[in-house]
Structure 1
Amino acid sequence: VVVTATETLGHEGIRDLVWDLEPYEADLVVATGVVDVAGPRMEMRPVAGLPLIHVEKPSYHGAKRSGKRAFDLIFATIALLLLAPVFAVVAVAIKLDSKGPVFYRSERIGLDGQPFGMIKFRSMVMDADQQVTALIKQNEGAGLLFKMREDPRITRVGRFIRRYSIDELPQFINVVRREMSVVGPRPPLRREVENYDGMIRRRLLVRPGVTGLWQVSGRSDLSWDESVRLDLSYVENWSMVSDILIIAKTVKAVIAGEGAY
């Protein structure tokens, strides 16, 4: 039996319900009214004889954040060393496939609203940014995002490296430069941030991530509202354990190639 309207039943009503359920093999669950708060942040504490739930504050500073930074630096450094041969092969493939640089810098907004240049392998033609206006009517992205499943700007090599998220590997350089984290919210564009309301701006309380809940939950197939909800949930509840689990799920999502285009 699930009780969601505790204010309607009141203390006596819930007590009577507990007594009424005693003869039956039924569990009683009482909703707290708190949403998108992870279990480890909630603790039952008796206050004045009443069982109350204490909700811990989100962790944005202190030793926990320092531990995350140390993990980011070690993980990104090892990843860059191990992926060096992959970088070399992809760089040659990009140069042979189309004219232009190997890397592409995209301005993104990071921690506390500070802009930075996010590094990716170039997967589109050189003047891709100038073609957005002409393609805007064909936008298939959710909310403020611009996405097309069959984007004509994407090169042959670009289509392959985007499907398996290989184009995002250079972002580990941003992690080493303290502009990004291994796990975090999706790195937003300036035009997205300019249209944020007060709630969505909470995404900027932590560094954006190379991967995150959005990456393991559908990526480009997510609706705008769902993408925002996942990012805010991560900001409020992140922990080292959850980061490791997200990294493990990312490997599975990348191999499947779902939601990547």
Structure 2
Amino acid sequence: MPLTLTAPRLRVRLPAAPPAKRVLDLVGAVALLAALALPLAAVTALLCAVRGGRPFVREPAAGLAGRPFRTWRFDTAGAGRTGALLERCAVDGLPQLLNVIRGEMSLVGPRPEARTDRPDRLLVRPGMTGLWQVSARSDLPWEEMPLLDRHYVENHWLGMDLAILAQTPRAAYRQRLA
């Protein structure tokens, strides 16, 4: 079913995402959760011990067509060096695999935001990783990141998603060393 977004003086109709993207999201998220089950359980237990309570936080985000949802993340605030290490190693966002399974997010897409004034972002599901993360220009100022999001929205296809997914571990490792 095509998606229609309407903004002042703008009406955009895009075809629905190909079923292959959803299959990739589901298979990838389930496989990652299965492969990472023990480390994720260990991180959960560690955060419970360090923080003395809830290990997760749910943050508001705008999804496909502006539908509100809440992203899952490890709650690293107030966890000192442990929280900083989890953020630096990009582990804090791994619970978003649950959002991918629920169809609220994709493995690849623009960064989720609580609200946006850019209608182009609402044409695709937000992603756990994206062009902004794996780009050689990942040191761009925050204000220039929307250009990468727009490029993804206007040009994405399954091959691009696969390339981004393949580059994500290296980009995360490179970021960890920085």
TM bucket normalised to smaller: 0.7 to 0.9
The verdict on how the C-alpha distance between 1:59 and 1:88 changes in structure 2, with shifts beyond 3 A counting, is: farther
Partners of 2:60 and 2:75 in 1: CA distance: 14
Partners of 2:138 and 2:177 in 1: CA distance: 5
Question: Which segment drifts farther, 93-102 or 75-84?
Answer: 93-102
Match of 2:103 in 1: 178
Is 1:245 paired with 2:170?
no
RMSD: 2.3
Match of 2:36 in 1: 83
Partners of 1:101 and 1:217 in 2: CA distance: 34
Match of 1:96 in 2: 49
Partners of 1:184 and 1:212 in 2: CA distance: 5
Offset of 1:219 from its aligned partner? 9.0
Q: Does structure 2 conserve the Cα–Cα contact (< 8 Å) formed by 1:111 and 1:208?
A: yes
SS of the equivalent of 2:70 reads strand
Partners of 2:47 and 2:137 in 1: CA distance: 24
The amino acid of 2:15's aligned partner reads H
Match of 2:140 in 1: 222
Offset of 1:217 from its aligned partner? 2.9
The number of residues matched between the two structures is 167
**Structure richer in helix, relative to its length:** 2
The verdict on how the C-alpha distance between 1:218 and 1:121 changes in structure 2, with shifts beyond 3 A counting, is: farther
Partners of 1:259 and 1:183 in 2: CA distance: 23
Q: Deviations over 1:34-76 (max 9, x none)?
A: xxxxxxxxxxxxxxxxxxxxxxxx99424x5211111111111
Offset of 1:218 from its aligned partner? 7.1
Offset of 1:162 from its aligned partner? 0.5
Alignment counterpart, residue 204 of structure 1, candidates 122, 144, 159 = 122
Match of 1:61 in 2: 15
The verdict on how the C-alpha distance between 1:88 and 1:115 changes in structure 2, with shifts beyond 3 A counting, is: same
SS of the equivalent of 2:57 reads strand
SS of the equivalent of 2:76 reads coil
Using structure 1 for the length normalisation, give the TM-score.
0.59
The amino acid of 1:110's aligned partner reads G
Is 1:257 paired with 2:175?
yes
The verdict on how the C-alpha distance between 1:219 and 1:201 changes in structure 2, with shifts beyond 3 A counting, is: farther
Of all paired residues, the percent bearing the same amino acid is 42
Partners of 1:107 and 1:185 in 2: CA distance: 15
Partners of 1:259 and 1:184 in 2: CA distance: 24
SS of the equivalent of 1:170 reads helix
Partners of 1:251 and 1:245 in 2: CA distance: 11
Q: Does structure 2 conserve the Cα–Cα contact (< 8 Å) formed by 1:220 and 1:259?
A: no
The amino acid of 1:118's aligned partner reads T
Match of 1:124 in 2: 77
In structure 2, the gaps of 5 or more residues are: 1-11
Is 1:110 paired with 2:63?
yes
Q: Does structure 2 conserve the Cα–Cα contact (< 8 Å) formed by 1:119 and 1:170?
A: yes
Partners of 1:256 and 1:220 in 2: CA distance: 11
Partners of 1:123 and 1:155 in 2: CA distance: 8
Q: Does structure 2 conserve the Cα–Cα contact (< 8 Å) formed by 1:219 and 1:259?
A: no
The verdict on how the C-alpha distance between 1:188 and 1:66 changes in structure 2, with shifts beyond 3 A counting, is: same
